[in-house]
Amino acid sequence: MFQKKTLWISHSAISSYSKCPHLYYLEYEYRNPRTGNRIQITNPYLALGLSVHETIEGLLDVSLKERTKVSLKERFDKIFNEYRGLKGGFLCDKKENSFYKRGVMMIERVEKSSFLLKPSKSLENSFPTVNLLENDKDSQIEAKLVGSVDWIEILPNKKAHIIDFKTGNSRESNGSLQLPIYTILAENNLKEEVEKTSYWYLEHDSAPAEHKVGDINYWKNIIEEKAAIIKSAVKRKEFYCNYPGRCFSCGDYEKIFKGEAEKVDLKNTKNKDVFCIFKEKDVIDKVMAGDFLDEREKKIFELRMKKEMKEINKELRLSDKKSEEIVHEIKRKLKKGLRKKELNVIIRLLGKKY
């Protein structure tokens, strides 16, 4: 029996397609031929976001009385530990600790507020959906709007206040579809009327900031237009890259196919193969932040990323013999202190093999 393909339209899916259709393909359509799973890239920002969200959102089902007994810091520590190392895209301890401290500051902002003492509720359906493009009688593909609403506060007038937690530095633009999508999903899956919508920028703000959505039908039309574009691309199987060979959006995924990534075992990633990629900047930062090179060796390493050894020797007043000795020691320490794939990044940068 023929089964329709379901096209899951989310804020993330629309955002990915807008950045680069090929990025959308790699994130949502491509399947690893070895496992049949989708692929995903882990990184410090994702690890931080998941850790903070899971720490807070796990309290939705805890009574107001019991919430006061919960240590958010202990919850966060336990959850963040699952993302340490390559699982969170951290190549070095310095960056990992920096992101951990950012997360702790966000959690402390929530604990110091009265936020958790206010009534809240979960959606009855943990996977809320709304049908899209219902006038399109396509027999092969159906489109459904989907999303995960971070928090629903119940106001004194018994109406709903939707709150979306933000763990990044940037603020959402007025044209963002995130809160409109959450409002549509909530209105179709809640008994309560949605009266208020807010973003909580946990990096900077001590409380949620209201962001008015406006006419929800206006937003639904925009969402349907974008869903129709994605659906057409899926039907045609055409996902062109906007900037072939130099795309910041899908370029990281291409590193997986080039062998410049390592598969990691990350929790809550059913039917996904998660990879940590080794970016040039991250590997260089690891070398400069690590303790396996001394300060002079770090200086030479840093200069070597930009100059030839002849220039460096002249600048640092090194003899050829002394330079060779130091370079040999740097190579030895890099081989010992870096993973093989990280070392390959350095070799590519230098344009030669050690």
Tens-place pLDDT, residues 331-345: 999 999 999 999 999
Phi, psi at 32, each rounded to 5°: -60, 120
Residues 198 and 113 in one domain: no
Q: How many domains is the chain partitioned into structurally? A: 3
Taking a C-beta distance cutoff of 8 angstroms, is the pair 192, 159 a contact?
Answer: yes
Taking a C-beta distance cutoff of 8 angstroms, is the pair 223, 181 a contact?
Answer: yes
Boundary-marking domain end, from 97, 118, 139? 118
Q: Any idea which residue has 């929530």 for tokens?
A: 110
- In this prediction, residue 44 has a pLDDT band, given cuts at 50, 70 and 90, of very high
Contacts of 103 (CB under 8 A, 6+ apart): 48, 51, 52, 76, 80, 167
Is a pLDDT exceeding 70 seen at residue 352?
Answer: no
Which of 60-74, 86-100, 337-351 has the largest mean confidence?
A: 86-100
Residue 268 placed within a domain: no
Residue 44 placed within a domain: yes
Per DSSP, 209 falls in state E
- Rounded distance between C-alpha atoms, residue 254 and residue 242, angstroms: 14
Phi, psi at 274, each rounded to 5°: -100, 135
Q: What is the pTM of this model?
A: 0.91
- Rounded distance between C-alpha atoms, residue 120 and residue 64, angstroms: 9
Looking only at the bridges linking them, the beta strands covering 209-210 and 194-201 are antiparallel
CA 269, 274, 277 angle in degrees (round to 5)? 155
Is a pLDDT exceeding 60 seen at residue 76?
Answer: yes
Is a pLDDT exceeding 50 seen at residue 247?
Answer: yes
Residues 126 and 231 in one domain: yes
Residues 201 and 229 in one domain: yes
Domain of residue 293 covers 280-350
Residues 231 and 321 in one domain: no
- Take residue 167 and report the two structure tokens written for it: 């763990």
Residues 110 and 157 in one domain: no
Summarize the confidence of residues 141-156 as an average pLDDT. Answer: 93
Residue 264: which region, alpha, beta or left (left: phi > 0; alpha: psi -120 to 50)? beta
Q: State residue 354's pLDDT score.
A: 41
- Rounded distance between C-alpha atoms, residue 331 and residue 343, angstroms: 10
Q: Within 10 A of 189 (CB to CB), how many other CB atoms are there?
A: 16
- In this prediction, residue 353 has a pLDDT band, given cuts at 50, 70 and 90, of very low
Residue 229 placed within a domain: yes
Residue 261 placed within a domain: no
Boundary-marking domain end, from 118, 148, 177? 118
Residue 167 placed within a domain: yes
- Rounded distance between C-alpha atoms, residue 153 and residue 115, angstroms: 9
Residue 49 placed within a domain: yes
- Rounded distance between C-alpha atoms, residue 332 and residue 238, angstroms: 47
Residues 285 and 345 in one domain: yes
Residue 247 placed within a domain: no
Residues 217 and 307 in one domain: no
Residues 42 and 81 in one domain: yes
pLDDT tens by residue, 193-226: 999 999 999 999 999 999 999 899 999 999 999 9
Lowest mean pLDDT among 27-41, 111-125, 181-195: 111-125
Residues 19 and 109 in one domain: yes
Residues 128 and 227 in one domain: yes
Boundary-marking domain end, from 92, 118, 144? 118
- Take residue 341 and report the two structure tokens written for it: 């794939």
- Take residue 247 and report the two structure tokens written for it: 């795309």
Residues 157 and 133 in one domain: yes
Residue 253 placed within a domain: no
Residues 188 and 114 in one domain: no
